[in-house]
A and B are shown apart, each in its own frame.
Chain A
Amino acid sequence: MTREEDFIDQVEGYLDEYEGQTPLPEMVRDAVRAQLPTTRQISPLPGPLRILDMTVTVPPAARYGLVAAAAVAAVIAGGALFGGPNLGGGPTPTPVPIPTPPILSGDALEAGTYRLTVVGVVATITVPPGWANVQGIGVGKDIPDVSFAAVVFWPSDAEAAHVYSDPCRWQDGYVDPPVGPTVDDLITALANQPQRGESVPIDVSIDGYRGKMVELTVPDDINFADCDGGQFYSWEGRFHQAPGQVDRIYVLDVDGRRLVIDAHFTPGTSAGDLAEQQAVLDSIRLDGR
């Protein structure tokens, strides 16, 4: 049993046991019975029978939108990664006093700068309007039915280092030999994961801290239901939300700590939102001391 399965077992055990038996109280059933005679049923809809659809499919127009958005994203990413100021070989990390903006918390966020701490690294991040807190470890922009873009700081290096040998058949286990402690070790394991596209790791730096970035994709035609447990996992705890999703995984060495930042977006994310995501990435300031 992998640690992921063990964790899921703990969650399901908690849900099963912690509340104990919770049958419908008889008084509720009695109250419903009592109200039926005075609760009028609405009349049936006219017209042919329509079966409720349990599946969610992406309409063709939306899929074309995804392709277009992905193309725009590639242009933006190319500009940011190959022409921007964050190219690898950046300056030696210069300690900069980090101000004390508010801790990232709540749901919706006002535009501004927020602080969070992961793997012993204090980070500040500046978000534009319309972005929300993602569990205190990142920020995201969710447009229901359309797209989701986020920048998330992975909270555990030990989890990220548990890269699955096959993201769809993840119950087969982790890569062997295990991922080593360096930035290169982790980025290489991720880049070699099957079904993740042809991305080659590149040198990057964020706030002067050097590292590598690899772009991982989820296959467009994958059906998550065909994968183990109905999920497609990159590493322990990191499963993905949509076919065609793109994750740009930044792995940095921050004063001796390996920090993983996952900038991801689903198909359909607009060029504007991708530019906002890049701006969020560019705003990151780090302090691992």
Chain B
Amino acid sequence: MERRLVELAMRGDEEAFDMLVGQLGDSLHSVARRILRDTTLAQDATQQALLDMWRNLPRLRDPDHFEAWAYRLLVNACHAEARRERRHRGNLRLLPHDEPMVPDSASRIATQDQLDQAFRQLSVEHRTVVVLVHYRGMTPTEAADAMGTPVGTARSRLHYALMSLRAAIDAEARVATKRGTA
């Protein structure tokens, strides 16, 4: 992220901020999409996070930390959207299930379907840490910073989230084995 653009945006330069959105927007939206698993919610969360960034930029103390700070605002916005959605639809709402976008072998699709089902059943907090670490490539410490939690909490969430995903893959493998031996 170009420091000069951040400094200009901090002083109210809308064009500079728009260029920052151009550089970071796709990545922020991709993360939101994976955390929330819902197109509309992800768009709302990303838009809210971008406006929060604009509003609060003058208080960013170190322009070099803009990106980490941006992800923190995005995670907050995602969690707020998830809470709002739960209030509207109740806690037991199932997330919508989109069709996979990439064609692949049957077994890979089956595994990814199992993973997808398990991923949707995770809490939004657990999905967040998985996405930040295994999609964005953050360290657990960076993910904890983005989530505003102690690093131990982030590690704990990551551990149990991965455990659930592993169980989904193992279940799919058992089904595939049974199919193969039937």
Contact A54 B135 (CB under 8 A): no
Say whether, besides A36-B17, A43-B58, A54 and B145 are in contact (CB < 8 Å): yes
Is residue A45 within 8 Å, beta carbon to beta carbon, of the partner chain?
Answer: yes
Interface string of A71-91 (1 = CB under 8 A from B): 000000000000000000000
Contacts of B153 in A (CB 8 A): 142, 144, 148
28 contacts between A and B (CB under 8 A): A7-B162, A7-B169, A15-B134, A18-B100, A18-B101, A18-B112, A18-B116, A19-B34, A19-B101, A23-B30, A28-B25, A28-B50, A33-B18, A39-B51, A39-B55, A40-B55, A42-B55, A51-B65, A52-B68, A52-B69, A54-B68, A54-B141, A107-B123, A135-B161, A135-B164, A144-B149, A145-B150, A242-B151
Contact B139 A225 (CB under 8 A): yes
- B residues at A contact (CB < 8 Å): 10, 12, 14, 17-18, 21-22, 25-26, 28-30, 33-34, 42-43, 46-47, 50-51, 54-62, 65, 68-69, 98, 100-102, 104, 111-112, 115-116, 119, 123, 130-131, 134-135, 139-142, 144-145, 149-153, 155-156, 159-167, 169-170
Closest residue of B by beta carbon distance from A44: B58
Is residue A100 within 8 Å, beta carbon to beta carbon, of the partner chain?
Answer: no
Contact A12 B134 (CB under 8 A): yes
Contacts of A56 in B (CB 8 A): 141, 144-145, 150-151
Q: Give the dominant DSSP class at B's interface.
A: helix
Is residue A1 within 8 Å, beta carbon to beta carbon, of the partner chain?
Answer: no
Closest residue of B by beta carbon distance from A158: B170
Query: Closest Cβ of chain A: how far from B78's Cβ, in Å?
Result: 14
Contact B58 A266 (CB under 8 A): no
Q: How far is the CA of A155 from the CA of B169 in the complex (A)?
A: 13
Is residue A288 within 8 Å, beta carbon to beta carbon, of the partner chain?
Answer: no
Please tell me which one of the listed residues A25, A45, A155 contacts residue B29 in the complex, with CB atoms under 8 A apart: A25
Query: Closest Cβ of chain B: how far from A47's Cβ, in Å?
Result: 10
Known: A7-B169, A135-B160, A230-B140. 15 other contacts (CB 8 A): A19-B34, A32-B47, A33-B18, A35-B51, A41-B55, A52-B65, A52-B68, A55-B141, A134-B160, A144-B150, A148-B153, A155-B163, A224-B155, A239-B155, A241-B156
Contacts of B151 in A (CB 8 A): 56, 242
Q: How many residues of A contact B (CB 8 A)?
A: 63
Interface string of A49-63 (1 = CB under 8 A from B): 111101110000000
Contact A42 B56 (CB under 8 A): yes
Q: How far is the CA of A37 from the CA of B18 in the complex (A)?
A: 12
Contacts of B61 in A (CB 8 A): 45, 49-52
Contacts of B50 in A (CB 8 A): 28, 32
Contacts of B54 in A (CB 8 A): 32, 36, 39, 41
Interface string of A137-158 (1 = CB under 8 A from B): 1001010110010000001100
Q: How far is the CA of A239 from the CA of B163 in the complex (A)?
A: 10
Q: How far is the CA of A192 from the CA of B14 in the complex (A)?
A: 61
Contact B102 A17 (CB under 8 A): yes
Q: How far is the CA of A36 from the CA of B69 in the complex (A)?
A: 19
Say whether, besides A41-B57, A107-B123, A237 and B163 are in contact (CB < 8 Å): yes
Q: How far is the CA of A49 from the CA of B61 in the complex (A)?
A: 6
